[in-house]
């Protein structure tokens, strides 16, 4: 504060403002201005009355998302089912290239769910049922993703792929839940 007090006159001269002291060291309440007036600040404890109208919610967007997300999840079941039927029933191994692809996609899926859920830890806007549903779906996605890796090595590979796909669907539903709630 002392450095500001010393340099305020130079700054006021450069900007063409009237020079006045920032701190009146003779007063017990040093934050009062030099002319005896108290500085007033806006009350930020309550949002302004028009804050809700700043970003109005679009019902058309919600309706489009409510249709598109589940529809695409259902349509993506077709290639997942084809992959299921065309995959040989065998246990995977560490030497299989698909195992490393599973590791890579699982890491990316965990990163995605982490970046979705992390902001909700500190958000006051996600409350009650939407918060519970988002966390249930997120935990489902995380569990499916993690379990699919050892499952690839100890069960037929088709089960690992299907479990990973279920984790992706759960993650998509988390995203939809957050879009509606936040």
Q: How far apart (Å, rounded) are the C-alpha atoms in residues 138 and 5?
A: 52
Q: How far apart (Å, rounded) are the C-alpha atoms in residues 146 and 105?
A: 11
Model pTM above 0.75: no
Is 18 among the domain residues? yes
Number of domains within the chain: 2
Query: Does residue 137 surpass a pLDDT of 60?
Result: yes
Looking at the structure, tell me whether residues 30 and 82 fall in a common domain. Answer: no
Task: Answer yes or no: are the C-beta atoms of 93 and 156 closer than 8 Å.
Answer: no
3-state helix, strand, coil in the chain (%, to 5): 65, 0, 35
Q: Which residue has the higher pLDDT, 135 or 125?
A: 135
Looking at the structure, tell me whether residues 25 and 112 fall in a common domain. Answer: no
Looking at the structure, tell me whether residues 31 and 104 fall in a common domain. Answer: no
Is 55 among the domain residues? no
Least confident among 137-141, 151-155, 166-170, 178-182 = 178-182
Q: Which secondary-structure segment (H or E) carries 137?
A: helix 128-154
> How many degrees, rounded to 5, is the angle at CA 160 between CA 114 and CA 73?
65
Looking at the structure, tell me whether residues 134 and 82 fall in a common domain. Answer: yes
Is 171 among the domain residues? yes
Looking at the structure, tell me whether residues 27 and 91 fall in a common domain. Answer: no
Looking at the structure, tell me whether residues 37 and 81 fall in a common domain. Answer: no
Mean of the pLDDT values across residues 122-149?
87
pLDDT at 163: 94
Q: How far apart (Å, rounded) are the C-alpha atoms in residues 18 and 9?
A: 8
Q: Estimate to the nearest angstrom the gap between the alpha carbon of 78 and the chain centroid.
A: 29
Looking at the structure, tell me whether residues 92 and 31 fall in a common domain. Answer: no
pLDDT at 126: 74
Mean of the pLDDT values across residues 100-109?
93
Mean of the pLDDT values across residues 105-127?
85
Range of the domain at 25: 1-41
Is 176 among the domain residues? yes
Q: What is the pLDDT of residues 25-71, one digit of tens each?
A: 666 665 555 555 555 555 566 666 655 565 566 667 778 888 899 99
Is 51 among the domain residues? no
pLDDT at 153: 93
pLDDT at 146: 96
């Amino acid at each position: 504060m002392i450095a500001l007090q010393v340099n305020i006159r130079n700054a006021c001269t450069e900007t063409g403002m009237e020079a006045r002291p920032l701190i009146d060291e003779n007063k017990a309440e040093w934050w009062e201005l030099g002319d005896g007036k108290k500085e007033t600040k806006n009350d930020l404890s309550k949002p302004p009355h028009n804050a809700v109208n700043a970003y109005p919610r679009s019902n058309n967007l919600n309706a489009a998302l409510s249709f598109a997300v589940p529809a695409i999840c259902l349509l993506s079941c077709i290639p997942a089912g084809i992959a299921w039927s065309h995959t040989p029933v065998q246990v995977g191994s560490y030497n299989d290239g698909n195992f490393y692809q599973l590791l890579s996609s699982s890491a990316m899926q965990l990163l995605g769910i982490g970046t979705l859920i992390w902001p909700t830890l500190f958000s006051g806007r996600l409350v009650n049922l939407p918060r519970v549903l988002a966390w249930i779906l997120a935990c489902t996605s995380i569990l499916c993703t993690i379990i699919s890796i050892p499952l690839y090595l100890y069960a037929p590979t088709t089960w690992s792929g299907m479990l990973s796909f279920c984790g992706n669907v759960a993650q998509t539903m988390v995203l939809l839940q957050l879009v509606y709630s936040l």
